[in-house]
Copies of this chain bind each other. A is one copy, B any other.
Amino acid sequence: MVRVGILGATGAVGEALIRILLGHPEARLTFLASDHAAGTRVDQALPVLRGQTDATLRAPDLAGFVAEADVVFLAKKGADSMEWAPKLVATGLKAIDCGAEFRFRDPALYERFYGAKHTCPELLAEAVYGLPELYRDSIRKARIVGVPGCYPTTAILPLAPLLAEDLVAPAGIAVDAYSGLSGAGKTYNEKTRNLFVDCDENCRAYNPLTHRHAPEIEQELSLAAGKPATALFVPHLLPLDRGILTTIFADLARPATTADVLALWRQRYANEPFIRVFDKLDEVTLANVHRTNYADFSALVDARSSKLVIVSALDNVIRGACGMAVHSMNLMCGLPETTGLLFRCV
């Protein structure tokens, strides 16, 4: 039984982690920390949990984590992770950061896009990018994992094997992505304008080419390609709660058919429990991945233009964040990796 602490238990990420971990047969939530709500019962702060837990929120406390947890999820927004992660790791705890603080190989990238000094670059250097399909072995041995961003996951999973095999050209890949509003969290966000009346019956791009997930996508695509890759990342808001659907346009680097692409994926991901490759683009839907840990995608080659179209879908809260985080936890703690993650949407 893995003993789990969560820092930032009542935010959007914390809540999703609790929901998942309450059903995880090998994990026990032992320390739910919240700055604001310490002393409150969890099911009062999050009424959706009524009847499922009688735990009480506590103030964050290093000694408490050390005494009661094996793993701590850093689920607070912002730079707080850089303060906590080194302390946790130093005491022998495993840390899983759900923010952006431990995703970048190059601290300068973090600093440029997130506007804050990286205060523990040495820990960043050892952190593993928590995408199990690409870094499974490293995650198993990691002390600290940086959980990937939701948008990057939709792009990296289908593109990485194609770039690794030189099937797709690494320059100028169009990543046209559409996300539900759960990605904007549970508080008002003036930039995203996540009020109902601003999103309902609406669709719009935001931060085109400059979104913080752009450098993360390029980092991983470049590593996969073995040479610099560039992406034109244009995120949009969809009037729905859960899910990201990403349509990708890339140049083929050598002649290939749709069948070639599908075959490559099916070979590369043959034993992956959370990847589903579909025959046709229109079989990839948000409904199919809703509240699951699957990443679904398919491909279609346009022979006329030697371009490849990919449609990729996942649930941003589960597969794009907290399910993937728990997947890393399973790997880090020596559990069967699908434990607690085979939920299907009832």
A residues with CB within 8 A of B:
16, 19-20, 22-23, 47-52, 171-172, 174, 176, 178, 180-182, 184, 186-188, 194-209, 230, 232, 234, 236, 238-243, 245, 247, 249, 273, 276, 278, 281-288, 290-291, 294, 300, 302, 304-307, 309, 311, 317-318, 323, 342-346
Contact = CB atoms under 8 A, between A and B. Distances in A.
Contacts of A182: 197
A311 B207 CA distance: 13
A50 to B, nearest CB: 5
Contact of A343 (B188, B206, B209, B346): B346
Contacts of A245: 203-204, 236
A180 B52 CA distance: 25
A36 B249 CA distance: 38
A152 to B, nearest CB: 18
A282 B22 CA distance: 26
Contacts of A22: 344
Given A186-B197, A194-B196, A245-B203, A288 B344 contact: no
Contacts of A300: 208-209
Nearest to A306: B172
Given A182-B197, A184-B197, A205-B311, 7 more contacts: A47-B278, A48-B288, A50-B288, A51-B294, A52-B344, A172-B302, A208-B300
